[in-house]
Amino acid sequence: MNRSALAVAILAAIAGCGSSGSSTPGAGGASGGAVGGATAGTGGTAGAIAGSGGGAVAGASGASGAIGGGGAAGTGVAGVTGTAGSVGQRTVTRFTQFQFGSIPIALTAGPDGNIWFSESDSYQVGRVTPAGMISEFMGPSPSARMGPITAGPDGNIWFGQSKSNTTPVLGGVGRATPAGVLTIFDTSEIPGDMTAGSDGNVWFSVAASNRIGRVTPNGLVTYFIVPAGAAPGGITKGPDGNVWFTEAQKIGRLTPDGTFTEFPVGNVAARPSDIATGPDGNLWFTESGRNAKIGRMTPTGTVTEFPLPAGNDLIAITAGPGGLWFTDTGTKSVGRITTAGDVTEFVVTDSTGRLGGIAAGADGNIWFTETFNWAICYITP
């Protein structure tokens, strides 16, 4: 999944700045016990929400033209491999030339070869080229906070928003063309995370109402109900053509026709957060909270967990060169886990913000956000 800026976990993470931590050699990929047994779920009751797709509001194109981003090369960061303890070096490059008050949250690799990102407090969607040229595009709802973002199967960028100054709080699903023209499709829900589906639509999670939403390229929204208490979070297109998402202590699967199945993760203390499809055809997910693990689930529901360096606080995960990449704001690190479970973390030693969304760029680099440092960064694998 082009994760972007993960959604529920990322939005929760911007509540405050975490203290800087040091990375220590982590335990290697010791496999946990296999957990099988799919629990048959209820079929999603589809129902196109009246008026959700019809009232597209044309948004203004990016009034703030291109803003030159100078991204000076940052300091080197030391890598610590969990199993062998070997040390590598990476250089962080930062781009910070945003409009005042912008807080980059989630990001995704766009079809145009650029990185697209959402901004929390400036109500904008932005684009940064591999060379660091930044453009920001204002949405038609100046009171809205932008949230998750993903590249859609239609060649556009899709994002979620919330309007916190209304009663009740309103959400919305938005579309941005590569030229920066924004359109908002109003819904009554606030998307938590988003992904492009194999069916040509965009899918999103809604934790508050225990629903998974689907929006067509022309803005028609349909919801599928998942069990009470599921609180779906991260979401991704699976290797089997279905949509997979995290729940409280479970992983859910939803077929395009609305058939729902749950898989337990085995560890009762685990709370899966973000999720991505790996290059090995399995589902990889982060667990929330301090000293969490990264889990791997096969499409049939077998789970293996891999420990990480102590003090971790995982935010987002994405597929990238050499396996899966993740942000760890607890140790101020960008990490990589191979499909065999070997972990390496690269400490962003001079970071004063919280690490947020992460995406593999078309340029071969790993891009991530630093919330409250007002920066978009990359490292070269």
Residue that wins the pLDDT comparison between 273 and 59: 273
Tens of pLDDT, residues 297-346? 999 999 999 999 888 899 999 999 999 999 998 888 999 999 999 999 99
Token pair in block for residue 345:
């973390």
Please state, as a whole number, how many other Cβ atoms lie within 10 Å of the Cβ of residue 45: 11
Under a CB-based contact definition with an 8 Å cutoff, are residues 233 and 245 in contact? Answer: yes
Q: Quick one: tokens of 250?
A: 């479970």
**Model confidence band, residue 201 (pLDDT cutoffs 50, 70, 90):** very high
pLDDT at 19 over 70: no
Closest CA to 346 of 79, 115, 164: 79
pTM score: 0.80
Secondary structure class of 98 (helix, strand, coil): coil
According to the model, what pLDDT value does residue 280 have?
98
Q: What's the number of CA atoms in the CB half-sphere (13 Å) around residue 229?
A: 5
Strand order in 104-109's β-sheet?
A: 64-67, 134-138, 124-128, 115-119, 104-109
Q: What is the pLDDT of residues 96-107, one digit of tens each?
A: 876 656 788 999
Pick the CATH number of 7-379 from 2.30.110.10, 3.40.50.2020, 3.40.50.1970, 2.130.10.10: 2.130.10.10
Q: Where are the domains of the chain?
A: 7-379
Contacting residues for 50 by C-beta, under 8 A, at least 6 apart? none
* 3 state DSSP class of 180: coil
Q: How far apart are CA 19 and CA 17, in angstroms?
A: 7
Please determine, for residue 53, whether its predicted confidence score (pLDDT) is greater than 50. no
pLDDT of 365 above 70: yes
Mean pLDDT of 76-84: 32
Place of tokens 């685990």: 270
Q: What element of type H or E holds 224? A: strand 221-225
Question: How confident is the model over 231-288, as pLDDT tens digits?
Answer: 999 999 999 999 999 998 899 999 998 999 999 997 767 789 999 999 999 999 999 8
Convert the pLDDT of each residue in 109-126 to its tens digit. 999 999 999 988 777 899
The pLDDT assigned to 79 comes to 35
- Residue 266 or 133, more confident: 133
pLDDT score of 103 = 84
Q: Mind listing the pLDDT tens digit for each residue in 289-298?
A: 777 899 999 9
For the record, the structure tokens of 131 come out as: 């060379």
User: Residue 308 has which token pair?
Assistant: 């990480």
